[in-house]
Structure 1
């Protein structure tokens, strides 16, 4: 009989406010902050510090490396470490699934940029490629190749219909979108380029890099991020340390006035020089004068300097407070330019007095800074989101007696969490915590530190109530409470284990009293009681395990077998088995009766940091530096599950007393809750799933080999490498999509043969005569595989089952015979089937891919002509229907606007999109100019009326 197990699956993850993988963003209302939180995007309420929502794709364990919020404030693009890009709709709160997934990059996405209408997305990645995506069609437009190192930033230049990209290879490249070619390459003087920014007008392009250089001015540190803000009136430059500098961006009108003043000053100086030479001004030779020029310092004036407490990771400008909102939905609003003082007399936008920036630092916190926009202005921290995250990586982990609370020991701060709600219920200021334990009915927490001290905290007050600074002469690596007792066992780097008794002299106060101490041969890396409390197990740095009697501390057993230091041990509840994990990447199962090694388990690829048995079973969990938590059967020596989700070393782990869940702590600063479900696990199915993962990895490797050979051939001059290529990437999903299409074609071929046989039999039966003796009328039994559909509908259903982002790659996997059969079956469907867009996309792509074979086959020319005629007619028909409906909708909107005397917000958006990429500052300048023009028109109209009246009066006289 096949043995089955119950599956553990991830239920929650917490402890991370912002991870260091990607940048941060602020929504249009300025109330919500979007921050990468490992494999999810966390949306935080900036004012309350509460988690509003998480954008997390099901089954995705890759870390978020980039995110971009579109100008509409609703669409969010998220790039991941596996090269995928997912689009989310913030207004769609009913579902947690992403809208679309785009696969094209082979490695981590490093930069994303939307156009103003959010219809096009540009992405750059560490695979040196830039990909242009069509958001509406959910497919890639082209892949731009030319960089030799990771692409660090990209930017769309809408006024030039081009893309700018920078890379660690020190090159700035400009790509022409219509031709899909690089039109200019600029090499930085030296060093890498890390950031890129362009204003809305497309007049300024700034790059920052490792050589302390920006295109328009020089700095003293590597520039990590450049962004315009406040309607292109301010520029912020983030460095690789704790510094951020704000600059004022001078408008075109201000620069023009400055040029006039400079020219006048130059003419005055020249006049003075002429007077000094001749004693009288004789004139100035205009031909000898040179026109005054502008320098970078004239365009950008330094303002506030912000210095944070920690190193900065990313920042984003926040919308200005107190501005009106043009419509709102699901917490998302557009900002209206309602301040009259934003435009000066010359029509130029003035820089506001203050600005707010959302800053993410390396301590897992978000902060909102208020900056005075003046020279030497001050910057102050207004609010922060930090309580929901660990300031450093959690090293020690323990659960309370009732499994309700979890304590995570970190450097400088220990966090106490509610396991059910994942909310922080206490922050304890401590030393560098390495281990932790609950004592006395979970009212107190004991923390072992790297300095060798034991610190006791009261959970009622979150205060330090006792400290034994001399508990150990080295780091306290392990803390354990004896089952059925209050005795605490500590093991340290001073080669000793110590027993402590907690006393409660008064409420909310505990004192630690040392009972006894025992010295061992080497550093104690882990010390545990057996469940019955009869023995003490100590794992040592010399790769041995010592088992002592608890009462006398005499040696019972010494276990040898590990090749490197033993890092963790755990005993089963019945006292029969002992599991140990070591730095040699192995787990050993020992018998506690004779100390024999039952089996060595190999599964982890890095050091095993923690092992723990589930109570009343011989199942145990292990965690490792390979970022995984694994579930084992110690009786059958089988790995049951491999739980993936963490993005760094898993330092500690603690299963609940009932075994219903397990909590793990990682170097990525997160705690993860893995819950046991009712789903059964079959080991054979798990092995098949692992083989599928290996097959998918093999697909990616083959693609990498093919691309490497192409690059090598281009480098040797054998074959020139094309700058533009297809944007898609082959994955297991595309392979499965191609298999579904091939299976549908095979089913339809068999069905056609079956129908032909039926028609032949029916014709013979009719020829013999229906009343013929012994004849039986043939019957065509419906094919269950067609699901009650006709052949055309079944084929379209199979094509529709392939996602739009994977359709082209799936069609590339079809052989020519299958492609020809598909085109043949689509020919009669074009005039009558409804999804004409899908059919047109499939037909045109297959014709482009198999162009040479189709042109070379005389038998396919007739089909090609028929496809051309029918497809053109059908597309023209659909175009007319869409145009008619659009005109009707515009007419209805016009009628409603006339009746209600209002204007729809959608119309304003359409007008803004149609007029180009105008910023709010430009709209203000245009509005001010329009008002001045209307005043002039009124004055001219008044003068004309006056002149007409005077002329009429003279004529009457």
Structure 2
């Protein structure tokens, strides 16, 4: 029986402790426990030599590793969602940038973290190594650029560049120059040591991607062009016209003779950089919203569609390999300098290394991400204190909480990946959830049974909003489509793309149910008037993604906010208000309008602030979160507010007293793991173990 087998294994464990020369025994024994599915809670693995085992997939609650020595042991790492990944020019390290503002430098051969570079206060959206491998440039969502000296791990330069697109960055060969792209089409070339800048003007749309060579710079834009610039004279050299669509990504072969471009509608084009001729063009519509990257030798390219990675031959246009292993949308790609390996990043699997020749998975760097993107109270009457709440997590689970006891009631496996949106129907009888794989799910009121599953969108489902009468549900996603669903038949009754065919970030119905507000990543907000069919742009920003929308109760005013540090007001009868309301120089993720006219906002930096819209100073600032606060929800009586963060916690706040009533967090993988005297692991790994719940000093 399993009980007798576990007892026998325990005897083996005791003998191993008495024989310190049995170096592989403990690791092999742990592997057996894992294969048998034995719950290791409370097990004693102290004073052992533990060699060559993978603990990254195990829950080690209250396990004792005190005074043990580890060699070639793989642990889980505490991470934010990995957004960017890049290979060091020498091929022995990779860098990852994540949603918590951290940059980690990993050793490729054993998956250990060598350095953690701290300084960003927002998502790290771009990384670039210098060709000599001594410098790393990074940029974040708040448009802060940092230059790091890798030998020391020090940030040698930091500057904020208002108006610049946060993902387009490139670093010169010696690390002394960096290039950044602007939302107005400008490319800026900075010599950060001298503090000088050259501006290259020509694009008519946001510059999305850059490649910097020794004497020239390539830039790609939403205007559908790719430009080459002579950086010695700052003069344009040539302009390539893409296939009638925005250019999202460019990459060069190692010899600079071949360039790949990826269009917003999935067009992949291969260019001869000497002649400017387009040698090949293929349509990959399934890759819209994905990533494409040219191999260093230029003979193949990698392309992603959701969680699928493929390698294609650039001469024949035929697929070479299909690489399956991710369970989340792939966010970034990098080839090793020798071209033998491609590494792909996602939220669930921090990084997977693949053989380009065989397609074999070579290594997985595992990270624990428990960001909470969505939050809701269970439906209650206004005169009753709320009891339960619901949260949607990056691991695909819905978690139900007792808000009074501050405890977890139960977990519900819901989606394959991140749950970005949850919303109750107006009558409180149905719950809608939207996930990273584009699925829409409908649940009964107790959240016991899934009643409907719809393949709603290709890519992330970001936006979810019930029409106030409950007869329709609006969804919007990374596939640039807005869909209206009949909630009786669960069929799509209307569908339309966004105006510029760019992903949707948020949806909000006016309380009277007549107008649907739609925000997308081209910095715009549109209004779809369902009574007339009119669809018009009411806001076109130049610097800012719109991350949240909120209507006033009378349906006359729409409020919008995002990463520019203010709230804009659009009135049905008066249009856009000239002067926005400033909430400071920080990314605003979520907002809630109170019945008394006050406004709650949450920020990238973990702050929650209460505002009187007639006063430029906050009435209160609530602190405690250690990461971006992605969601704010008011209780029905508006006495409490709940906040969820990328730090994996939910906090409950008393608005009147402006105090935190409690913190809720689901158990971490290494909760209570004892590591007193543990050796054979790096200081960075010890820190990661503690972030995942371990206790004790190594």
What TM-score results when the alignment is normalised by the length of structure 1? 0.34
Which has the larger helix fraction?
A: 1
What TM-score results when the alignment is normalised by the length of structure 2? 0.46
